[in-house]
Chains A and B, each alone.
Chain A
Amino acid sequence: MAKKDAKAKTVPAIKKQSGSVAAEPTANAISFFQELGNSVKISFNSYISETKDNQKLRLIDAFLVFLVCLGILQFVFCLLVGNFPFNAFLGGFIATVAQFVLTVSLRLQSLDANKTVFKGITPERALGDYIFASLALHFVVLHFIN
Chain B
Amino acid sequence: MVSLIDNEGYLRVDPTLLKLVKLLLLTLIFVSVSFAAVSSRLFSVIRFESIIHEFDPWFNFRATKHLVNTSFYEFLNWFDDKTWYPLGRVTGGTLYPGLMVTSSVIYHILKFVGLPVDIRNICVLLAPAFSSITSVAMYLLTLEVTSTTPTLKHKKTAALFSAFLMGITPGYISRSVAGSYDNEAIAITLLLVTFFLWVKSVNTGSIFYGALTAMFYFYMVSAWGGYVFITNIIPLHVFILLLMGRFDYKIYTSYCTWYALGTLMSMQIPFVGFLPIRSNDHMAAFGVFGLLQLVLLVSYLKDTLSPTKFVRLMFAFSAVVATVGISGLVLATKMGWIAPWTGRFYSLWDTNYAKVHIPIIASVSEHQPTPWSSFFFDLNFMIWLFPVGVYFCFQELSNPAVFVIVYSVLGSYFAGVMVRLMLTLAPIVCVCAGITLGRLFNIYLDVKDELSSWWNNKESQDSLFTLLSKMVVSATFVFYLVFYVQHCTWVTSNAYSSPSVVLASRNPDGSQLLIDDYREAYYWLRMNTPEDAKVMAWWDYGYQIGGMADRTTFVDNNTWNNTHIATVGRAMATSEDKAEVIMRQLDVDYVLVIFGGLIGYSGDDINKFLWMVRISEGIWPEEISERNYFTDRGAYRVDDLATDAMKNSLMYKLSFYRFGDAYNGLDPVDRVRQQKLSSSYAKSITLDVMEEAFTSENWIVRIYKLKNRDNFGRDLIDIGKKDRKQQSKRTKRMLSRKKPTLDLRV
Q: Do chains A and B touch in the complex (CB under 8 A)?
A: yes
Interface set of A (CB-CB < 8 Å, partner B): 21-22, 25-26, 28-29, 32-33, 35-36, 38-39, 42-43, 46-47, 86-87, 90-91, 94-95, 97-98, 101-102, 104-106, 108-109, 114, 117-121, 125-126, 128-130, 132-133, 136-137, 140-141, 143-144
Chain B residues with CB below 8 A from A38, complex form:
309
Structural contact, A101 and B211, CB atoms closer than 8 A: no
Give A125 to B205 CA distance when docked, in angstroms.
12
- Measured CB to CB, the closest approach of chain B to A143, in angstroms, equals 6
Q: With A28-B320, A43-B304, A46-B304 in contact, is A102–B208 under 8 Å at CB?
A: no
Q: Which residues of chain B have C-beta atoms less than 8 A from A25's C-beta?
A: 297
Minimum C-beta distance from B610 to chain A (A): 44
| Subset of 9 A-B contacts with CB under 8 Å | A25-B297, A29-B313, A29-B316, A29-B320, A35-B312, A39-B305, A90-B274, A102-B256, A118-B204
Given the known interface contacts A90-B267, A129-B208, A133-B208, the answer about A140 and B317 at a Cβ–Cβ threshold of 8 Å is no
Task: Provide the bound-state CA to CA distance between A12 and B263, in Å.
Answer: 32
Least distance between A27 CB and chain B CB atoms (Å): 10
Chain B residues, Cβ within 8 Å of A114: 249
State how many angstroms separate the Cβ of A89 from the closest Cβ of chain B: 11
A sample of 20 more A-B contacts (CB under 8 A), given A101-B257, A121-B205, is A26-B313, A32-B316, A38-B309, A39-B301, A43-B301, A94-B263, A98-B261, A102-B260, A104-B252, A105-B207, A106-B207, A118-B204, A118-B250, A120-B204, A121-B204, A129-B207, A133-B207, A133-B211, A136-B214, A136-B261
CB distance B207 to A132 under 8 Å?
A: yes
Bound complex: CA A61 to CA B256 (Å) = 18
Closest 6 CB pairs of A and B: A98-B260, A129-B207, A129-B208, A101-B256, A105-B253, A133-B211
Inside 8 A of A39's CB, which chain B residues have their CB? 301, 305, 309-310, 312-313
**Which of A95, A120, A133, A144 is within 8 Å of B210, CB to CB?**
A133
Q: Once bound together, how far apart are the Cα atoms of A117 and B299, in whole Å?
A: 15
Q: Which residues of B contact A28 (CB under 8 A)?
A: 320
On chain B, the residues within 8 Å of A91 by CB distance are 264
Tell me the bound Cα distance from A146 to B261 in angstroms: 17
Q: Report if B265 contacts A (CB, 8 A).
A: yes
Residue of A nearest to B248 (CB): A117
Contacts A29-B317, A29-B320, A90-B274; A140 near B261 (Cβ below 8 A): yes
Number of A-B contacts (CB under 8 A): 126
Proximity bits, B263-303, A CB within 8 Å = 1, else 0: 11101100000100100000000000000000011001100
Q: Which residues of A contact B305 (CB under 8 A)?
A: 39, 42-43
Is the CB of B206 closer than 8 A to any CB of chain A? yes
Instruction: Check A109/B301 contact, CB under 8 A, given A29-B313, A39-B309.
Output: no
Say whether, besides A29-B320, A35-B312, A39-B313, A97 and B260 are in contact (CB < 8 Å).
yes
Minimal Cβ-Cβ distance residue in A for B205 = A118
- Would you give the shortest CB distance from A51 to chain B, in whole angstroms? 12
Q: Contacts of A22 on B, CB cut-off 8 Å?
A: 297, 300-301
> Measured between alpha carbons, how far is A132 from B264 in the docked complex, in Å?
16
CB distance from B404 to the nearest CB of A (A): 22
Residue B215 at the chain A interface, CB threshold 8 Å: yes
**Given A25-B297, A26-B317, A94-B263, does the pair A102, B207 have CB atoms closer than 8 Å?**
yes
Chain B residues bordering chain A, tally (CB within 8 A): 39
Cross-chain contact B312 with A33 (CB below 8 angstroms): yes
Kindly list chain A residues whose C-beta atoms are within 8 Å of the C-beta of B296.
Answer: 104
Task: Compute how far the CA of A33 lies from the CA of B277 in the bound complex, rounded to whole angstroms.
Answer: 34
Given the complex, which residues of B lie within 8 Å of A33, measured CB to CB? 312-313, 316
Inter-chain contact A137/B261, CB cutoff 8 Å: yes
Q: Which residue of B lies closest to A111 (CB)?
A: B249
Report whether B205 and A36 are in contact in the complex, using a CB–CB cutoff of 8 Å: no
Name the CB-closest residue of A to B289.
A101
Min distance, Cβ A86 to any Cβ of chain B, angstroms = 7
Q: In the bound complex, do residue B208 and residue A136 qualify as a contact, i.e. CB atoms below 8 Å apart?
A: no
Contact A117 B205, beta carbon cutoff 8 Å:
yes
Q: How far is the CB of B286 from chain A (nearest CB, A)?
A: 11
Distance (whole angstroms) from the CB of B235 to the closest CB of chain A: 15
| List of B residues within 8 angstroms of A32 by Cβ | 316
Kindly list chain A residues whose C-beta atoms are within 8 Å of the C-beta of B274.
Answer: 86-87, 90
Residues of B with C-beta under 8 A to A130: 207
The answer to whether A126 and B207 touch across the interface, beta carbons within 8 angstroms, is yes
With a cutoff of 8 Å between Cβ atoms, the chain B residues found around residue A126 in the complex are 207
With contact pairs A39-B309, A117-B248 given, residues A90 and B205 touching in the complex (Cβ less than 8 Å): no
Q: What residue in chain A is nearest B267 (Cβ atoms)?
A: A144
Q: Are A117 and B304 in contact, CB atoms less than 8 angstroms apart?
A: no
Q: Per a CB cutoff under 8 Å, which of A21, A26, A90, A132 touches B211?
A: A132
Q: How far is the CB of A130 from chain B (nearest CB, A)?
A: 6
Complex partner residue of A109 from B205, B259, B277, B316, CB under 8 angstroms: B205
Whole-angstrom distance from the CB of B276 to the nearest CB of chain A? 10
A35 and B309 contacting across the interface, CB-CB below 8 Å: yes
What residues of chain B lie closer than 8 Å to A121, measured between beta carbons?
A: 204-206
Most chain A CB inside 10 Å of its own CB: which residue of B204, B257, B264, B312: B264
State the CA gap A137–B205 with chains docked (Å): 18
Chain B min CB distance to A4 (Å): 23
Residues of B within 8 A of A118 (CB): 204-206, 249-250
With a cutoff of 8 Å between Cβ atoms, the chain A residues found around residue B206 in the complex are: 118, 121, 125, 129
Residues of B within 8 A of A136 (CB): 211, 214-215, 261
For A125, the chain B residues whose CB sits under 8 A away are 206
Chain A residues near B260 (CB-CB < 8 A) = 94, 97-98, 101-102, 137
Whether A108 and B312, one on each chain, are in contact in the complex, defined by CB atoms closer than 8 angstroms, is no
Instruction: Considering the complex, give the chain A residue whose CB is closest to the CB of B292.
Output: A101
A78 to chain B, nearest CB (A): 13
Residue of chain B at shortest CB distance from A28: B320
CA distance A97 to B51 in the complex (A): 48
**B 33-77 to A, binary, CB cutoff 8 A, 1 in contact else 0:** 000000000000000000000000000000000000000000000
Q: Most B CB atoms within 10 A — which of A38, A86, A133?
A: A133
> How far, in Å, is A112 (CB) from chain B's closest CB?
13
The reply to whether B207 and A109 contact each other, CB–CB distance below 8 Å, is: yes
Q: A36–B313 Cα gap in the complex (Å)?
A: 6
A42 to B303, CA, bound (A): 11
Bound together, the chains give a CA A140 to CA B256 distance in angstroms of 16
| Complex interface: chain A residues within 8 A of B253 (CB) | 105, 108-109
Query: CA–CA, A21 to B296, complex, Å?
Result: 11
Instruction: Give bound CA distance, A33 to B304, whole Å.
Output: 18
**B317 contacts across to A, CB distance below 8 A:** 26, 29
**Using Cβ atoms and an 8 Å threshold, which residues of chain B touch A108?**
249, 252-253
Give bound CA distance, A145 to B11, whole Å: 67
* Contact residues of B between 126 and 140, Cβ < 8 Å to A: none
Instruction: Return the chain B residue nearest A105 by Cβ.
Output: B253
> CA of A86 to CA of B260 in the docked complex: distance in angstroms?
17
Instruction: Point out the residues of chain B lying under 8 angstroms from A86, CB to CB.
Output: 274
Q: How far is the CB of A24 from chain B (nearest CB, A)?
A: 9
In Å, the complex CA distance between A94 and B259 comes to: 11
CA distance A94 to B207 in the complex (A): 17
Nearest CB in chain A: distance from B285 CB, A: 13
Which single residue of chain A is at the shortest CB-CB distance from B296? A104
> Which residues of the partner chain B approach A128 to less than 8 Å between Cβ atoms?
208
